[in-house]
Structure 1
Amino acid sequence: MAGTKRMTRRDVVHAALHALDEGGVDAVTLRGVARALGVHLNSVSLQVGTKARLLDLMADAILGELNLEDLPADPIERVKEIFRRYRTVLLAHRDGAHLVSGTRVFELNTLALGEAVISGLIAAHVHDQLAVRTFWGLNYFVVGLVHEEQVSQDAGGRRFDSDVSPTDYPALAAVRDFLLDDPFEARLEFGLDALLHRAKHQDD
């Protein structure tokens, strides 16, 4: 019909992100996105191809929300701040870490993240191979941390107390409160410091 706006790939990804936030990763289907947009399944498939490709585009769109402006001048502090913001962006979407961990994307926003982190590490005089390994290590750590953070922990204490006997697991029982109550922000900072300390002291 004349005057009808043509659906774009961006429309499809936006609708898919809405489905993600409403129902999680399992709720994202090509058919469901088509239904939400009021179009035929073939119209969605034409824009994104497969569900796997849609998930890749969604992951890159989430990374597009990562603000890489106004970062610290010190390169190591810059990398830390990037990953703090990365965590925030992942937390902004239901199953955000689950989605991103299941994709291997080389799109505009994902490449921008890699460029910002690698350039910061190189500026801190980290040699190329270690810079790459540090980037991957930081990425895996933060995505994994957020994945745990986004999984319900409501019954964690009760489950621990019923399954972890001080007789069978004395060390775990001794540190119970730290295991269950350590804030995710503190875990984040510890992991960032540990991985970046290794990078900074590459010759030790």
Structure 2
Amino acid sequence: MTRLNRERVLRAAVSLADEGGIDSLSMRRLAQELGVVPMALYKHVANKEQLLDGMVDTVVGEIELPDDRSDWREAVRGRVLSARRVLLRHRWAYRVIESRNAPTPAVLGYLDSMIGVLRDGGLSADLAHHAMHALGSRVLGFSQELFDASGGGAGDGAGDGSNGGAPPDPALAERFPHIAELAGAAAHDGGSVVGGGCDDQFEFEFALDLLLDGFERLRAAGWTSAR
């Protein structure tokens, strides 16, 4: 039998969350999966919060870091899309990342390396600071959508993609004509993970590329936030 250690505990916890969602994970369930008594886990993680921190670091550790010697925009783009692939494998992870009171060591290391790519690419510390704010959670592979562009409303499939592409409710369309127009014009994906039925990957990359191109224009212009 493989000796119990912190890495094995964390990997098992990640697997359980992948299978049943983060809400299904408990110290007791994890102990059963590993074939040990719950108290054995506390030699490796002090409590549930420390377990969740470790799970975040395990997931972030899966992000591939492309060659930073390439164009800085390609390097950042490659890292972000790698992070996105990781979070699509672990769909519960973004919720846990958002729930942490402070960034975990692996998240801090990843963010530090991302800032390093920006600085090595010629962005000033000032511009890099604002670029990281603009990228926000996209740096870690996810984004929060402003509204449901599928035309659905509460109680009729909004948020689960089941209404993607369906005509909006006539009364809502009359009240919110511009949202209805966008809903009719948008490409839809029934399996979207942003919850609006839109083509999730396309929308993510579209915004990412706009940001990166904008950062490059500002860098080339010698932009500064000084007023």
For the criterion TM > 0.5, the same-fold answer is yes
**Cα gap change, 1:106 to 1:99, in 2 (>3 Å):** closer
Structure with the higher helix share, 1 or 2: 1
Question: Which runs of structure 2 are paired with 1:47-62 in the superposition (5 Å)?
Answer: 47-62=44-59
**Cα gap change, 1:124 to 1:5, in 2 (>3 Å):** closer
Structure 2 unaligned residues grouped into runs of 5+: 148-158, 189-197
**Structure 1 position 168 matched with structure 2 position 175:** yes
After TM superposition, give the deviation of residue 179 of structure 1 in Å.
4.8
TM-score by length of 1: 0.82
Q: Is the 8 A contact 2:31 2:37 kept in 1?
A: yes
Q: Is the 8 A contact 1:67 1:85 kept in 2?
A: yes
How many residues are aligned here? 196
**Structure 1 position 8 matched with structure 2 position 20:** no
User: Which stretch shows the higher mean deviation, 190-199 or 71-80?
Assistant: 190-199
Cα RMSD (Å): 2.7
Q: Is the 8 A contact 1:30 1:45 kept in 2?
A: no
After TM superposition, give the deviation of residue 167 of structure 1 in Å.
1.2
> Residue 30 of structure 2 aligns to which amino acid in structure 1?
V
Pairing partner for 2:32 from 30, 35, 38? 35
Q: Residues of 1 paired with 2:170 and 2:21: CA distance?
A: 29
Question: Which runs of structure 2 are paired with 1:29-108 in the superposition (5 Å)?
Answer: 29-70=26-67, 73-103=70-100, 104-107=102-105
Q: Residues of 2 paired with 1:22 and 1:138: CA distance?
A: 30
After TM superposition, give the deviation of residue 154 of structure 1 in Å.
2.2
> Residue 105 of structure 1 aligns to which amino acid in structure 2?
P
Q: Residues of 2 paired with 1:165 and 1:44: CA distance?
A: 52
**Cα gap change, 1:73 to 1:102, in 2 (>3 Å):** same
**Structure 1 position 189 matched with structure 2 position 189:** no
Q: Residues of 2 paired with 1:190 and 1:95: CA distance?
A: 24
Structure possessing the higher relative contact order (Cα contacts under 8 Å, 6 or more residues apart): 1
Q: Is the 8 A contact 1:91 1:97 kept in 2?
A: no
Stretches (4+) displaced over 6 A: none
Q: Residues of 2 paired with 1:31 and 1:137: CA distance?
A: 40
Q: Residues of 2 paired with 1:83 and 1:163: CA distance?
A: 39
